Each structure stands twice: as C-alpha cells, then as structure tokens.
Amino acid sequence: MDVQAGKQPKMLATARREFAPWKDKAASPLIRFERVSKRYGGVTAVDGVSLDIYPGEFFALLGPSGCGKTTLMRMLAGFEEPSEGRVWLAGRDLAGVPPYRRPVNMMFQSYALFPHMTVFDNVAFGLKQDGAPKGEIASTVAEMLKLVNLTGYERRKPDQLSGGQRQRVALARSLAKRPKVLLLDEPLAALDKKLRGQTQFELMDLQAKVGTTFLIVTHDQEEAMTVADRIAVMDHGRIAQVDTPADLYEKPATRYVAEFVGDVNLIEAKVVSRDANSVLMQSEAMSAPLRAICEGDVSPGQQVALALRPEKIRVTLRKPGEALENCVRGTVSDIAYLGDLSIYHVRLESGLILKAARPNITRFTEQPITWEDKVYLSWAPEAGVVLVK
C-alpha cells in the first residue's frame, strides 16, 4: 500500500477537492439515518440521530467512548436493531434485514480474523458464502491481496502475521465482496503511533482507488480529521455537529465540539452590543473588551462563550499597537516545547489561564519568551468564534 501512496494520480486529488455532494441539493444519500434511537433498558445509547451520508464519501463518526458511535455503526451492519427510527441504504429500509443479507461489510477493531483459516481462506470467506465460482474467488482474492500489498502471504495463518499485516488482511477481507459501504470500527487503534499515521494515508488512497463509501468510527480526532471528508461529532447519543474537518475546527457550533476537536480557550462573556457583522463582549476575567466577527443571532445582555484557538493568539513582550480590544496582559506560567511549536500558558490578572501557541519558525530566538515574563496576548476579531450553545 505504501508504494501506491507516491503514485497517486493527480486526477484523484483534484476530484477530492471538488467533492462535496452534501452541498448538492439534487444528490441522494446512500445511507440515511432517520431519527434513529437505541435504548438498552433504561440507557439511551443513540438518541434521535438523523444523518445523511453520500456515495463515495469518507465519513467519520467521532466521539469519546460511550457516545453511541459504535452502536450507530452496528445498526447499519445489522448487529443491532434501532429501538426507533429507520436506517436506509440505497433507498431500501434495512429494518429486519439480517447482517448476512446487508450489502455492507465491516472491519472489526479486533480484526476478527478466523484463526483456523489461512489468509487466502479468510479473504475468500465472504465470496464462498455467495457461492462464487472457484476461479473467480481465486482471482478476486489475488486482486485484494495485491491491493493491500500482501501478495505471497496466502498460505500464512493469522498468528504468523504482524499487527500491521493482520490489519491489511482484515481490510482485504472486508473489501473482497465489493460492499456498498465499508464500515471501519476503530481500525487503527491496535497499531503503534507511527504505523497509524502512515496507515491513515494509505486508507485515504485506498478509498479513492476503490471508490467505496467508507464509514469510520474513531475516538481519535486527529485520525478523523486526516482521513474523513466529513465528520459527525457525537455526544451522549446525539450528533453535536456534522461538518468538514476544517469547518469543524474553525466554526465549531457548540462548546462541546470546540473542546473535543483540537485545543481551545473558552472565555465566558456577556454581549455588550452588536453591529452589522461583529459583537462586542465583556468578560469578568478579561481586562479588555472582546470583539469577534459573528453573524449568528445574539442580543445584548446574552451570556456567550468566546472560543479562541491557541495558535490564533499572538504572544508579544511589547504591547502591539494601540489596540483597546482583544488585547490582555498576563504572566507566563508554563511553557510546553513541542518542537514544531511551543504552547504558553499565560495567567491573566484575573487568574484565568489562556493557552497560546507559537510556531518555532527560527531555530533560536534572540529574545525568547520565558517563565514569569510579562506578555501581551492579542488576536484579530475574526480569530474567535462566539458560541451560544
């Protein structure tokens, strides 16, 4: 698979850039969750979820463990039946259709390779269930193993493979039947960090190559943002927001999303006034008034939160210009040097700690900012997002 990463045709990359069927009113979704709920006794695992996923999408369900993302996926695979609502696949209601009759295949978190079968038999298992002719099975298996770069491993048993190889066999097995949707349940959780990063790109390339709709479940926001076209962030069985990775990061809809995706400073504030495209806020924790671009529906006196990403805050030793808004003073209380960037924890006079990130562009700075330095934090009005929810 890593060989193909370099040879990726440019055409696919261009197609990827223009790919946004969710904006197209005429496009019909491949998967539709319609007010789906799932209850186990008194516990609600999935709570009235409605979601459309389009053909060819790489879609991620993101959330902490227990948020209902796996249950939602398992309802599509057929291992769970919704307590309420409907699941549609290609215009067909899936209610009552058993897992072995659904045109979706799943790659399990544990890989679930059959330990008593060879790699060949594992990949061929699904094809055999359909009663495909022997020759066709052999050629499809060969093709799948070539796709995941495991040609020559046909006779091995799963216990004779490394973790990464098992992951590829599982992938080949779930793709062999050419499913309408490939479900991936935390597919990379068992791999070490380096291999995981590499495999994420391989997964994207593979998806572009086979054109199948991929639905991935993950708790790792970095992973979801790397591979997916769109992400649904889930919280307690509900969908908090569905958006592209960039929109999710730059335009979080709720405090929960802002905090879950990436790092953020949430500043509680009260709206003072608003003009055509911005609002002026006052926070007890901040010495200066805050201004942020906001097109949403807020009115003076309303309690809101300003979400400010650390990398959008400038840290300077001297006061930047004569700015009266969006500029506060504080003391550096902690520095985390991460190599590519440094994270500064700055304590304001009110005691609130703001996180600010600074890329380490030069190798050495003449006047480095260090512990106990008095610094100014400033940001542009378009840097912050006003959150009502």
Partner 1 sequence: MRKGLGPFTITALVAGFAFLYLPILLLIVYSFNDSRLVTVWGGFSTRWYGSLWQNQALLDAAWVTLRVAFVSATLATILGTMAAVALTRLGRFRSRTLFAGMLYAPLVMPEVITGLSLLLLFVAIDLNRGYWTVMLAHTSFTMCFVAVVVQSRLIGFDRSLEEAAQDLGATPLRTFFSVTLPLIAPAVAAGWMLAFTLSLDDLVIASFTTGPGATTLPMRIYSQVRLGVTPEINAVCTLFIGFVTLIVMASSLAMKRQMIVAEQPVRG
Q: Nearest CA to 35 among 23, 52, 54?
A: 52
Structure tokens at 234: 């889930």
Cβ proximity of 220 and 69 under 8 Å: no
Between 177 and 355, whose beta carbon lies closer to partner 1? 177
Q: How far is the CB of 170 from partner 1 (least distance, A)?
A: 9
Q: How far is the CB of 110 from partner 1 (least distance, A)?
A: 5
Which residues within the stretch 152-171 sit at the binding site for partner 1 (CB under 8 A)?
A: 159, 161-167
Q: How far is the CB of 55 from partner 1 (least distance, A)?
A: 21
Q: Residue written as tokens 């197609």?
A: 15
The Cα 166–Cα 101 span in angstroms is 26
Q: Does residue number 112 form part of the binding site for partner 1 (CB under 8 A)?
A: yes
Orientation angle between helical segments 163-175 and 119-129, nearest 10 degrees: 20
**Contact mark string toward partner 1, 252..271, x via CB under 8 A:** --------------------
Query: Distances from the Cα of 54 to the Cαs of 51, 95, 153, 190, 325, in angstroms?
Result: 10, 20, 35, 28, 44
Q: Nearest CA to 94 among 176, 39, 185, 30?
A: 30
- How many binding residues for partner 1 (CB under 8 A)? 35
Q: Nearest CA to 29 among 73, 91, 72?
A: 91
Among 21, 126, 245, 310, binds partner 1 (CB under 8 A): 126
Cβ proximity of 83 and 58 under 8 Å: no
**Contact mark string toward partner 1, 27..66, x via CB under 8 A:** ----------------------------------------
Q: Does residue number 210 form part of the binding site for partner 1 (CB under 8 A)?
A: no
Among 56, 99, 197, 289, binds partner 1 (CB under 8 A): 99
Pick the piece of the chain touching partner 1 (CB under 8 A) from 88-96, 123-131, 219-227, 261-269.
123-131
Binding residues for partner 1 (CB under 8 A):
77-79, 98-101, 104-106, 108-112, 114-116, 125-126, 129-130, 159, 161-167, 173-174, 177, 190-191
